[in-house]
Structure formats: structure tokens, C-alpha cells
């Protein structure tokens, strides 16, 4: 059911306080045609109540004629900031950017973050934002996950469905998403709650079996029949199964880019308040599926670009695939067992958030 403005303003206030917003700081709210009006007005109210100087930068959408879906992650290409120096300058001059548009996988975003500006993405429906408003506990859980990945050389993923995937680690950084931006130059996504990295170039190998109930994004669909992906030298080289396998392959092939088949980020969800079933309860154009990406105990992998991590792949195709009931190991340590986080590892290891 809908949420009242009062509750969403309260949620925004908590997120902005966790993001260390101070009176007098400059907040720019980045919007486009698909920005939710309630999210926008409540963000403005909360930021101004905390004493910030707020402005709105509204930019026209792009790539609509190229994407096969209205999902903002369905085609990554250029962004509304591409070739738009005045807009970039305005964002770089801000202390905090609230991205209600979806600015991802772009050199412009890297440039803005490098200036010290913080960026917080928030594009899920207001009800999901309020249910998954970030907390200090989210921060601690994700930081515990980061420590589990640090200095590890291999992630291995198995399942009773037949997955057996080997992912050598070490070339790329670890990313922590906990839902707020507490340091200069930080990007995050509200809602979230997961940890991930990228496999070494050309190193991913093995087999991924998508089982019934796993999720394809941006298709926003539950898998209803097994799909088998063969992974060799960092790329998916075969997709086998029934009609859903054919549709997945057709979607990837529509980008006409071999890099679309590359294994991209890999990690697991840590958000206890996210639910696997939520995707089926919203209109497919209303949500981008953050519950599935963050749900506690998933294994989440993606296909496509790695430029967010400093890599060279900039393919316009990006597919996220959250999987259930997997076993995830980092070196010899099991961190997820049959789709459940090993909670004894999720302890405060002395690195508390000073928000």
C-alpha cells in the first residue's frame, strides 16, 4: 500500500544523517522523466529541514530508442551527462548528489566522484525505500563481508542444481553497498546491503546452473526451467536449456558485443529485510529489483562491463542474476551455505561506523 509523506521524509532524514549531511552544504537532486514525484518532494523536504541548500537538475532521458526495456539498467551507453559540461560542473560543485535518475557505469560519474562529491542513488518505489531504509547494522554486516573477501584469492560457488564456478580474485577492488554515503567521493545505492568484487580477467571458469526461482534482471522474471551457462576464460561461452535460455541468449546477442558475455561483479547479499518474493508484487516497470540483489544469502553475479571497478569493458549490456540456495566459499572459508549466510561470521570486528 502507499506510504505517507511523513514516513518517507523520516526515512530520507535518516539516510541523510547517516550520509553526514551538514547545514549549509549543497545538495543537487538529479532527476529525469521517470523520477518518482513523492521520492523527489520528500527528498527536498528532508534535505532542507537539515539545513542544506538544495537545487534540482532535471535532464532528458537518453537511449530509449536503443534499449529493449524501460528499465534504467537495460542499456548503459551514453548518459544525459555525456557532452554536458554545465551539468557536470553543477554536480561537481555539490557536496551531495541525490540521483533519482540512475547514473551508472559512466566516465561522468567517475569524474564527479573524483571531485569529492558524494552520490546516492535512490530509484526504487517509495514503499521499498521506506522498508529498506539503511541502518548502522547494515553497515556493520557489509563491512564484515568486506573483511571476509579481503586478501582472498578464490571464490568458489556450488549448488545442488549443478553450479560449480571458480572465480580467481585479487585484481579488482571490493565494493561495499550499505545504503548511504558517509565519505567524500563515495557512491552507494539505497536500498542495498551486499558485498561484491570482480574476478581476475580471463580467470572465471566452470558451470552455472540457474534453477527454478532464480531471477533475471533487467528481465525481472523468475526462472521456471534450468538454464546452464558454461564459463571459460572469463566469458559465458554456451547457454543451454529451453525457451528461457533462448530468450536470454537473444537478449544478450541483441547488443552485438562479445563483451556482453563477460563475467562481471560477483558477491552475496546481506540484507535481512529484503525478500525474494517482492519482485512478483510490483509492476515490472515500477522496480529495478533491489530486493533480489540484496536479499540475505543470495549469490549475485552479473554479465557485462567492469569499468566501475577500473576495468576496460564498457559494453552497454548489463545483466544481474541473483541465485538462491548456493554455497559460496572464499578460499577455504564457507560464507554462504545453501542460500543462508553463515551468521557466525557476521560479527562486529571492531570497525564501527562513526556517523
Residues 57 and 202 in one domain: no
| Per-residue pLDDT at 355 exceeds 50 | no
| Per-residue pLDDT at 349 exceeds 80 | no
Residues 127 and 140 in one domain: no
- pLDDT tens for each residue of 287-324: 999 999 999 999 999 999 998 888 889 899 999 999 99
Residues 125 and 261 in one domain: no
Residues 114 and 256 in one domain: no
pLDDT at 348: 59
Residues 86 and 178 in one domain: no
User: Which one of 131, 150, 183 terminates a domain?
Assistant: 131
User: Which one of 116, 131, 146 terminates a domain?
Assistant: 131
Residue 328 covered by a domain: yes
Residues 144 and 64 in one domain: no
| Per-residue pLDDT at 173 exceeds 90 | yes
Residues 61 and 151 in one domain: no
Query: Residue by residue, what is the 3-state secondary structure of the chain?
Result: CCCCHHHHHHHHHHHHHHCCCCCCCEEEEEECCCCCHHHHHHHHHHHHHCCCEEEEEECCCCCCCCCCCCCCCCCCCCCCCCCCHHHHHHHHCCCEEEECCCCCCCHHHHHHHHCCCEEEECCCCHHHHHHCCCCHHHHHHHHHHHHHHCCCCEEEEEECCCCEEEEECCCCCCEEECCCCCCCCCEEECCCCEEEECCCCCCCEEEEEECCCCEEECCCEECCCCEEEEEECCEEEEEEECHHHHHHHHHHHCCCCHHHHEEEEEEEECECCCCHHHHHHCCCCCCCCHHHHHECCCEEEEECCCHHHCCCCCCCCCEEEEECCEEEEECCEEEEECCEECHHHCCCCCCCCCC
Residues 74 and 191 in one domain: no
Q: Which residue segment(s) compose the domain that 62 sits in?
A: 5-131
Residues 189 and 306 in one domain: yes
Task: Identify the band that residue 236 occupies on the pLDDT scale cut at 50, 70 and 90.
Answer: very high
- pLDDT tens for each residue of 263-296: 999 999 999 999 999 999 998 889 999 999 999 9
Residue 115 covered by a domain: yes
Residues 96 and 186 in one domain: no
Residues 43 and 57 in one domain: yes
What CATH code is carried by the domain that includes residue 77? 3.40.50.2300
Residue 142 covered by a domain: yes
Provide the domain count of the chain: 2
Residue 79 covered by a domain: yes
User: Which one of 63, 97, 131 terminates a domain?
Assistant: 131
| Per-residue pLDDT at 8 exceeds 90 | yes
- pLDDT tens for each residue of 54-74: 999 999 988 888 878 888 777
Task: Identify the band that residue 351 occupies on the pLDDT scale cut at 50, 70 and 90.
Answer: low
Residues 88 and 157 in one domain: no
- pTM for the whole structure: 0.95
Amino acid at each position: 500500500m502507499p506510504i505517507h509523506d511523513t514516513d518517507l521524509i523520516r526515512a530520507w532524514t535518516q539516510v541523510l544523517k547517516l550520509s553526514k549531511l551538514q547545514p549549509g552544504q549543497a545538495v543537487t537532486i538529479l532527476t529525469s522523466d521517470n523520477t518518482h514525484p513523492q521520492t523527489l518532494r520528500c527528498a527536498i523536504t528532508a534535505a532542507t529541514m537539515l539545513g542544506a541548500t538544495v537545487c534540482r537538475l532535471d535532464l532528458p532521458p537518453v537511449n530509449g530508442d536503443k534499449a529493449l526495456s524501460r528499465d534504467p539498467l537495460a542499456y548503459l551507453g551514453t548518459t544525459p551527462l555525456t557532452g554536458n559540461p554545465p551539468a557536470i560542473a553543477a554536480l561537481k560543485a555539490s557536496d551531495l548528489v541525490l540521483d533519482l535518475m540512475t547514473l551508472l557505469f559512466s566516465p561522468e560519474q567517475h569524474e564527479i566522484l573524483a571531485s569529492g562529491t558524494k552520490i546516492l542513488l535512490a530509484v526504487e518505489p517509495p514503499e521499498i525505500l521506506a522498508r529498506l531504509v539503511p541502518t548502522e547494522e547494515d553497515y556493520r554486516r557489509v563491512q564484515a563481508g568486506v573483511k571476509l573477501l579481503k586478501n582472498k584469492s578464490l571464490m568458489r560457488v556450488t549448488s545442488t542444481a549443478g553450479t560449480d564456478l571458480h572465480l580467481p580474485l585479487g585484481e579488482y577492488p571490493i565494493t561495499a553497498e550499505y545504503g548511504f554515503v558517509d565519505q567524500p567521493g563515495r557512491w552507494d545505492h539505497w536500498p542495498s546491503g551486499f558485498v561484491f568484487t570482480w574476478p581476475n580477467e580471463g580467470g572465471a571458469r566452470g558451470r552455472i546452473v540457474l534453477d527454478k526461482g532464480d531471477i533475471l534482471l533487467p528481465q525481472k522474471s523468475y526462472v521456471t526451467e534450468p538454464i546452464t551457462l558454461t564459463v571459460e576464460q572469463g566469458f559465458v561461452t554456451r547457454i543451454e536449456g529451453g525457451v528461457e535460455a533462448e530468450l536470454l541468449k537473444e537478449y544478450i546477442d541483441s547488443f552485438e558485443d562479445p563483451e556482453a558475455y563477460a563475467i562481471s561483479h560477483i558477491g552475496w547479499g546481506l540484507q535481512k529485510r529484503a525478500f525474494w518474493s517482492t519482485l512478483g508484487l510490483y509492476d515490472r516497470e515500477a522496480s529495478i529489483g533491489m530486493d533480489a540483489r540484496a536479499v540475505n544469502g543470495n549469490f549475485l553475479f552479473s554479465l557485462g562491463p567492469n569499468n566501475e571497478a577500473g576495468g576496460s569493458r564498457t559494453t552497454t549490456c548489463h545483466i544481474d542474476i541473483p541465485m538462491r540456495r548456493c554455497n559460496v566459499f572464499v578460499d577455504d572459508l564457507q560464507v554462504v551455505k545453501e542460500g543462508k549466510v553463515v551468521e557466525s561470521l557476521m560479527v562486529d570486528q571492531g570497525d564501527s561506523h562513526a556517523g
